[in-house]
Amino acid sequence: MSSSSSLPATDSPLITAMIAPAQVLRGAGAIAQAGDAIARFGQRPLVIGGDRTLKVIKPFLNPVLKQHSLQAQPASYGADCSETGLATLKEAIAQHQADFIIGVGGGKALDAAKLVAYQCQLPIVTMPTSAATCAAWTALSNVYSDVGAFQYDVGLPRCPDLLVLDYDVVQTAPRRTLVAGIGDALAKWYEASVSSGHSQQTLVIAAVQQARVLRDILLQKAVAALDNPGSETWRDVVDATVLMAGVIGGMGGAQCRTVAAHAVHNGLTQLPECHDSLHGEKVAYGILVQLRLEEMVAGNRLASAARQQLSQFYRQIGLPETLQDLGLADIRLSDLYRAAEFACRPGSDIHHLPFPVTPEQVVAAMVSTQAPTLVAAANLSFEGAAHPSQPPSPTVITDLEVDA
C-alpha cells in the first residue's frame, strides 16, 4: 500500500506502536503454568523486586525455576526506581551474568526491572504482585530520586516480552493497592479525553473511548470487587487496572498523554510527607484537582458535576479526596506551593490542559477539592460528563448511575 496522500502529515511520519506485551498469561496459578514461556528467555534470570514482593513471589516462582533448572538470583531494587538503584541492579546483572530479567512487584519494582532490562538489552518478564498500577504492561518507566521525588519518565522501545498475571499472587496484596490501582486507571479517561479528545487519529480515538469504557467498568464494579476479593468481579477489576489501563496507554501512545492528575502527583512526590501514599492515591486526588482547575479557570460546569460524582465514589471505596486524606493536614503553604510549582514547570503534562495555569491556581485547586459544586450532578449520567466536546460513542456501558 502506498502511503501517498494529498494531506500533509501533522506529526512525524513514523509512529512506533508499543501496544502490548508479546505474550500475556493470566489466571489463578498462572505462574505455575508459565514455566515453558519463562524458560525460553534464558537460564539465568535476575529476579528484581522489593523486599516484600520477593518474599511473596518465592513460593509461587521457586518451583517453576527449579523445574526448569533456572539459575535465578533475587535482587532488591532498593528504596525507589532511582538512578542509584538502577546502577546497583546493573552490577547485579553483570555479577550474576543474567540473560533475562523477571520483574516482580508493583509500579516501582517493575519500572526499575523494565528500565534496567532495556539498558542491558535483556528480555523482560513482568509479574505484578498487586493491581496498583499498569506498570507490568507498559513501555514506560518513571525514575525517582533516592528519596522518592519524581524526576522524569523514560519511554521504552517495547512492552515487556511476557506478562504473567497470577490472581493468587495479586490476592496477597493489601486491599489498598487495588483501590490505588482503580484511582490510577480512572485517570486515563479524565486525562486522555483532555489531551487527545480532539484527535482524528484512529488509534488515539480508540484509546480515548476505551478509557471511558474502563472508567465505567471501574465505577460499576469496584465496590463489589473490593468486597469480594478473588471473585469474578474482583478479577474483572484487576484486569481493568493491570491490563486494560495498559492497553489504553499502549494504543494511545505518545499522543494520548497524561495531564494535570499525574502532574499533581509528580508535584506531591516532591514532599517527603507524601511518600506514604501510593501512586494511584495521589493520582486520584490529582483528578479532582484537575477537574477543579477546569471548573475554576475554564468555567467548565460538567467538570464540576464529574467532581461531585467522583467524590461520592471515592468515599465509597476509600480514595483520598483532600490533602488531609493524603496525610497532609499540616502541610505548610510554602511546601504546597513548591509542589504546585513542580507541577507547573516547563514541559510538565499539566500544560496539556487547554488553558494556561499558574502555581497559584494549582494551589487554589488543591485546597478546594471539596468545594461546593456548580451544578447538581444528580440528573447527569456519566456519559461525556467532564468533557462535552466528546462525541457520543458506542460505549458498551452507557447508562451508568453511581449517584445514591
d(CA 346, CA 349): 9
Q: Which residue is nearest to Zn ion (CB)?
A: 184
Name which of 45 and 280 has its Cβ closer to Zn ion: 280
- The alpha helices in 16-159, defined as continuous H runs, are 35-39, 51-67, 83-96, 107-119
Sheet holding 100-105, edge to edge: 24-27, 162-166, 124-128, 100-105, 45-49, 73-76
Cell of 16: 512506533
Parallel/antiparallel/unpaired status of strands 100-105 and 124-128:
parallel
Name which of 188 and 387 has its Cβ closer to Zn ion: 188
Residue 129 beta carbon to Zn ion: minimum distance, rounded to whole angstroms: 17
Of 156-195, which residues contact Zn ion (CB under 5 A)?
Answer: 184
Name which of 184 and 325 has its Cβ closer to Zn ion: 184
User: Cα–chain-centroid distance for residue 130?
Assistant: 12
Name which of 197 and 249 has its Cβ closer to Zn ion: 249
Among candidates 92, 65, 61, which has minimal Cα distance to 76?
Answer: 92
d(CA 207, CA 251): 6
Name which of 184 and 349 has its Cβ closer to Zn ion: 184
* # residues contacting Zn ion (CB under 5 A): 1
Name which of 184 and 281 has its Cβ closer to Zn ion: 184
Q: Specify which residues 143 forms β-bridges with.
A: 152
Residue 200 beta carbon to Zn ion: minimum distance, rounded to whole angstroms: 26
Residue 278 beta carbon to Zn ion: minimum distance, rounded to whole angstroms: 10
Name which of 80 and 184 has its Cβ closer to Zn ion: 184
d(CA 231, CA 220): 15
Cell of 262: 499525574
Encoded amino acid at 215, one letter: R
Residue 279 beta carbon to Zn ion: minimum distance, rounded to whole angstroms: 6
Name which of 111 and 184 has its Cβ closer to Zn ion: 184
Of 289-308, which residues contact Zn ion (CB under 5 A)?
Answer: none
Residue 246 beta carbon to Zn ion: minimum distance, rounded to whole angstroms: 11
Q: Specify which residues 75 forms β-bridges with.
A: 48
Residue 349 beta carbon to Zn ion: minimum distance, rounded to whole angstroms: 11
Distance (Å) of CA 95 to CA 75, 99, 116, 143: 11, 11, 14, 23
Distance (Å) of CA 236 to CA 74, 105, 187, 226: 31, 20, 18, 11
226 to 245: interface string for Zn ion, x by CB under 5 A? --------------------
Location of C-alpha cell 502511503: 3
Name which of 122 and 165 has its Cβ closer to Zn ion: 165
Residue 375 beta carbon to Zn ion: minimum distance, rounded to whole angstroms: 29
Residue 262 beta carbon to Zn ion: minimum distance, rounded to whole angstroms: 6
State the helix-helix crossing angle for 83-96 and 107-119, rounded to 10 degrees.
Answer: 60
d(CA 361, CA 332): 17
Of 106-165, which residues contact Zn ion (CB under 5 A)?
Answer: none
Residue 142 beta carbon to Zn ion: minimum distance, rounded to whole angstroms: 8
Q: Where do contacts with Zn ion occur on this chain (CB under 5 A)?
A: 184
